[in-house]
Amino acid sequence: MMFAVLIAFCSLLLGIFLLKQRKHGLNIPSPPSHWLLGHIPLMRKSGSIAHEAFSKISNSYGDLIRLNLGGKNMVLVSGFDELKYIHSSEFAEDRDALEIANLIFSGSLKETKGVLVNSGSAWKELRRFMLKTLRDLGFGKTASEETVLTETRFLMEEIGRMAKTDQEVDLDKVFNKAALNIIWNLVAGERFDYDHAKMAKLLACLDAFMLMGKKVIGQPLGAIPFLRYFPPFRATFLKCCKGMEELRNFISETIQDHEDTLDPDNPRDFIDLFLLDLGSTEHMDKSNLLISALDLFSAGSETTSKSLMYAVALLVRNPDVQKKVQEELDAAIGGKPLLTMSDKIKLPFTEATILEIWRVGNIVPISPPRRTSKPLEIGGSTIPANTMILSNTHTMHMDPKYWENPQSFNPSRFINSKGMFVADEKVLAFGTGKRRCLGESLARMENFLFLTNLVQRFSFSPGDQGPPSLQAQGGFTNGPEPFKVKVTPRF
């Protein structure tokens, strides 16, 4: 009896809250909604993967629509022109972090730390420091290229050992390990052998981060935070919290080790440089150091590994493209042991293939949410201040008004009549505006060096289950469903 009364009381409070939210004036088109649940039923009906559900809704109702999820008004952007305009506006630079995701990630429901989900002066200070520090560490330059090439050698050795078993293999974990080592070298100045206990611990923590993405983003738990107190959401919430707490503890211990061994005249990595700058501004404190390091770890590892998994899946499904890329790579490498960034200019079709992989295998199909700081006028409509903005780049990457036969994997769409590679700004792999990915230069380098050297050294073909599926898994970063392939050394 008491439980029924409690449920009724909670429903009443939720209804009052939602009705109050509806009064938030937006003169932007909105699909029909449930009086209590808003557009949550429409989302569930449209699909279990958030970006796919959003695409179906926008295809029916337009490129700029209003949604209400869990009592929160938001604007869904699905057109490139609208996205470019909004993301370039100073009134849409703030981040709108999901409360439940923030609680799991940083341990705080309301307080935001780090650079990814912060806003205002805190974000500007941390972003400025981050950009300067990454430059000082040789980000995207010769120093970081040597780091990536070193990891490329380890990666190829590991995959070579896997290939010798003559069994089909799942490359997801080994790609994760390579990407983790690159970012951990930047953050903490060290790398781990692939079978090291600390590597296993980092991978387990990364799994918790990915679980949070799948079970929170676009799901009821993300829209209605108090569901974390009730089954079945409670178990998922606690599992995510435990994994992220272990990762925060791991990074905290690493920061303490750096404090104990800090040499001001010889900073080794991101943590050292942050420690040397503590107290220089209002937001340069240890809590922001911890979450900023966590930001780099989470954003810089899974994105690269998922991109590589999509690359392998698409090349296996398109052996003609794989062969053409290999022929171009063979001509470029000469007698060198590895392809380097200096070879890029000789590889137009390979560059086009990578860009097409990013278009079709979109690893961040929903840009991290933004929030308007002031009213924003667009196309005769007004987005009020303090409104969440979600941008669905998946729709843009697959829109026939931008791309001919968008479902087709065709790198030649980025090759002009002279055989030269031509980039297209509508491939939004790294975002736009001042919130554009801080690690873009390193991510581009990793993708290029890992992929070109692997494809030059090995051929990838379907496993016993056939070609990999491209069906998305959803989450913070999107990857294909798990698959195995056969790996054959070419030499």
The rounded distance, in Å, linking the Cα atoms of 415 and 421 is: 5
* Residue 95, phi then psi, degrees to nearest 5: -100, 140
pLDDT at 2: 47
Strands 94-95 and 458-462: unpaired
Binding residues for heme, by number, are 437
Q: Which of 221, 257, 302 is nearest to 477 (CA)?
A: 302
Beta bridge partners of 421: 415
pLDDT at 21: 43
**Residue with the two structure tokens 């780091």:** 147
pLDDT at 6: 47
Q: Which residues contact 273 (CB under 8 A, 6 or more apart)?
A: 133, 136, 137, 267
Which tokens belong to 183?
């970012």
Q: Which of 362, 385, 363 is nearest to 372 (CA)?
A: 385
Which helix (H) or strand (E) segment holds residue 63: the answer is: none
473: left (phi over 0), alpha (psi -120 to 50) or beta: alpha
HSE of 28 in the Cβ direction (CA atoms, 13 Å)?
29
pLDDT at 69: 86
The rounded distance, in Å, linking the Cα atoms of 365 and 307 is: 12
In this structure, the dihedral spanned by the alpha carbons of residues 91, 97, 99 and 104, taken in order and rounded to 10 degrees, is -160
Beta carbons of 92 and 432 less than 8 angstroms apart: no
pLDDT at 20: 47
Q: What sign for the dihedral angle of Cα 288, 429, 364, 326?
A: negative
Beta strands in 364-454 (DSSP E): 366-371, 376-378, 381-383, 388-392
* Residue 464, phi then psi, degrees to nearest 5: -65, -25
At 488 the three-state DSSP class reads: strand
The rounded distance, in Å, linking the Cα atoms of 285 and 404 is: 50
At 433 the three-state DSSP class reads: helix
* Residue 181, phi then psi, degrees to nearest 5: -65, -40
At 170 the three-state DSSP class reads: coil
Beta carbons of 487 and 162 less than 8 angstroms apart: yes
Binding residues, by number, are 437
**Residue with the two structure tokens 């989302």:** 43
Query: pLDDT 10s digit of each residue in the chain, 491 long?
Result: 444 444 544 555 455 444 444 445 458 999 999 888 899 899 989 988 889 999 999 999 999 999 998 788 899 999 999 999 999 999 999 999 778 888 888 888 778 899 998 999 999 999 999 999 988 888 767 789 999 999 999 999 999 999 998 889 999 999 999 999 999 999 999 999 999 999 999 898 888 778 777 777 767 788 788 889 999 989 988 888 888 899 999 999 999 999 999 999 999 999 999 999 999 999 999 999 999 999 998 888 889 999 999 999 999 999 999 999 999 999 999 888 999 999 999 999 999 999 999 999 999 999 999 999 999 999 889 999 999 999 999 999 999 999 999 999 999 999 999 999 999 999 999 999 999 999 999 999 999 999 999 999 999 999 999 999 999 887 778 999 999 999 999 98
pLDDT at 16: 47
pLDDT at 11: 52
* Residue 459, phi then psi, degrees to nearest 5: -110, 145
The rounded distance, in Å, linking the Cα atoms of 197 and 7 is: 46
pLDDT at 26: 57
Helices (H) and strands (E) in the chain, counts: 17, 9
431: left (phi over 0), alpha (psi -120 to 50) or beta: left
- What is the DSSP code (8-state) at residue 439? T
The rounded distance, in Å, linking the Cα atoms of 349 and 346 is: 9
At 459 the three-state DSSP class reads: strand
Domains and CATH numbers, the chain: 1-92 (no CATH), 97-364+398-489 (1.10.630.10)
